[in-house]
Structure 1
Amino acid sequence: MDVVNQLVATGQFTIVKQPLGFIKALQWIFAIFAFSTCGSYSGMFKMSVECKNRSESDLGIEVEFEYPFRLHQVYFDAPTCKGGNPERLFLVGDYSSSAEFFVTIGVFSFLYSMVALFAYIFVLEKYRENNKGAQIDFVVTAVFTFMWLVSSAAWAKGLSDVKTATDPDRVITLITACDEEENRCREVHDPKVSGLNTSVAFGFINLILWGGNLWFVFKETGWLGAFAGTYAQPSQEKQPAPDSFAQPGYGQEGYVQQDPYAGSQGGYQPEYGQQGGYEGGDYNQGGYEQQGGPTSFANQM
């Protein structure tokens, strides 16, 4: 308790409140739900065979099956309705590979999530040192995401086959006595497979959790910053180009200083001011007055 109180006081448990640690905790919980609902399953269905000779009938044939669903090893005894010993019949199918694969992925996911949570809480600084821990975490998370996809899909198909193989209406067709019209065969109790349906749902929930956690682990790897720097560098190199284009061409020697329409700073005002163009009395000293045009006109008047 002292260690826990110390961790709470130092704020190391705050990582669990962040998406990185919170989703990892959910992975740990839902992995338990996934492999426990599948690995601990046991089911049973019941049938009845009513022979023409009632003394040979069996109205309570129970067939039990369980994980890992090697149904070809599950058998039951059914009456022949012809006297003598009952016949022994076996179910059809072996679906242990998909079921065991699903449970194995769930167990390893549970163990890895527990180790990752331990690293987040107790050795977070070493986890983030040089980004090595985050990079390993990202690769392992990606592998488990793919494994949850494969195992959940395989177990969903395997569960569908298990339901078909344990359907009492289908199993009844294996009984020889049920081929005779005078004998009456029917199902009494269907197997309950709601727990198995839940295991498939938990499998796909784990797929979503592990896939969603990829983004938060990826941000810890440092690869995002490396990619951003790679794409930002070319744009920074192209920034001086407009400045070099503006300074020599148009900013200093172009249209600003050589604009003929600038009244007080252009080229025409100093030029006419010095040569007696348009300013003040210089106009009367220009070429028009020397030609005598206006004076001769006054004399004529």
Structure 2
Amino acid sequence: MDAANQLTSVGTFQVLKLPLGFIRVLEWLFAIFAFATCGGYSGQLRISVDCMEKASSNLSLAIDFAYPFRLRQVFFEAPMCEGMMRERLFLIGDYSSSAEFFVTIAVFAFLYSLVATVVYIFFRDKYHENIRGPLIDFVVTVVFSFMWLVSSSAWAKALSDVKIATDPDEVLVLIPACKDQTNKCGSVQEPRWSGLNTSVVFGFLNFVLWAGNIWFVFKETNWHKGAARFAGGVSEKQISTFTQQPNNQGSFDQSESYTTQCELNQPSQYSQVGGPSSYTNPI
């Protein structure tokens, strides 16, 4: 069966057993995991500022941050270790562009793969009626493969910077009271990064899925059909030429044998002894 016609020859939901349909299902599932683990993240770090004047100390100062990681807008009230005074400080960095770009690609990839799966299942006849359907599907798949690679790489770099910016040791440097040797500052709790690490993994897994699905989508396009017909025509021509060559060679051999046989059967003017085969006396 021609691979390009598989979608039109299977049952309604049997298409999900084919590589094209099965990978589409994995794409929208993995896209959900990607934007859920990144877009739904919220973290917290805790530090302690133990002032020489114990009354102004804060031994469990909590700093909360979340998606889209505009850390420069995240502030906390740190003790100044001068009486009961507090100082508002802000974290450093804004990584919202990479995070939002990653989540946006994940959301659109989820929507497209979901719509494509519905088309494969319920509208596969119309999918093949117009040659533009498979071509558009192929182009979009290539674009999303590239965008997944770019967004996942950008988000992986941004996540590395977010980890540095929210490192308790780096945050303590921002507190003026911690620069005084008479005060003791330290880390109480670091943020948990398992969710964000998972989002990066799912980002690159989505790239692998979309890139691998390019071939199966390409097989549904007229480009693949035309190449298959061209290869089939060339193969048939070669087989026909190969079949005709032995027949021509046999005709040539028969003609040559017939000519040789005629030459051998022609009577000779001389006997085998060396003279004429017969002699007539003229008298």
Which category of TM-score, normalised to the shorter sequence, fits these structures?
0.7 to 0.9
The structural deviation recorded for 1:138 is 0.7
Equivalent residues of 1:21, 1:117 under 8 A apart:
yes
Q: Secondary structure at 2:76's aligned position in 1?
A: strand
Alignment of structure 1 residues 217-228 onto 2, 5 Å: 217-228=217-228
Is residue 2:82 matched to residue 1:94? no
Alignment of structure 1 residues 19-58 onto 2, 5 Å: 19-58=19-58
Q: Percent identity?
A: 53
Structure 2 counterpart of 1:148? 148
Q: Could you list the per-position Cα deviations for residues 90-114 of structure 1 after superposition, in whole angstroms to 9, with x for gaps in the alignment?
A: 0000100010111111111111111
Q: Normalising to structure 1: TM-score of the pair? A: 0.80
Equivalent residues of 2:53, 2:83 under 8 A apart:
no
Equivalent residues of 1:102, 1:152 under 8 A apart:
yes
The structural deviation recorded for 1:193 is 1.1
Find the aligned partners of 2:205 and 2:256 in 1 and give their Cα distance. Answer: 68
Q: Could you list the per-position Cα deviations for residues 48-85 of structure 1 after superposition, in whole angstroms to 9, with x for gaps in the alignment?
A: 01111111111010000000000000001111112251
Structure 2 counterpart of 1:3? none
Structure 2 counterpart of 1:251? 252
> Residues 120 and 290 (structure 1 numbering): CA distance in 2 closer, same or farther, change over 3 Å?
closer
The structural deviation recorded for 1:275 is 3.5
Find the aligned partners of 2:202 and 2:92 in 1 and give their Cα distance. Answer: 27
The 4+ residue runs of structure 1 with deviation greater than 3 A are 228-248, 252-259, 274-277, 288-291
Q: Normalising to structure 2: TM-score of the pair? A: 0.85
> Residues 28 and 71 (structure 1 numbering): CA distance in 2 closer, same or farther, change over 3 Å?
same
Which protein, 1 or 2, shows the higher relative CO under an 8 Å CA cutoff with sep ≥ 6? Answer: 2
Is residue 2:13 matched to residue 1:13? yes
The structural deviation recorded for 1:135 is 1.2
Is residue 2:164 matched to residue 1:164? yes
Count the aligned residue pairs: 269
Q: What amino acid is aligned across from residue 271 of structure 1 in structure 2? A: Q
Equivalent residues of 1:131, 1:220 under 8 A apart:
no
The structural deviation recorded for 1:236 is 6.5
The structural deviation recorded for 1:16 is 0.5
> What do you get for the CA RMSD once the two structures are aligned?
2.9
5+ long unaligned stretches in structure 2: 1-9
5+ long unaligned stretches in structure 1: 1-9, 260-264, 278-282, 292-301
Among 272, 275, 278, which residue is 1:287 paired with?
Answer: 275
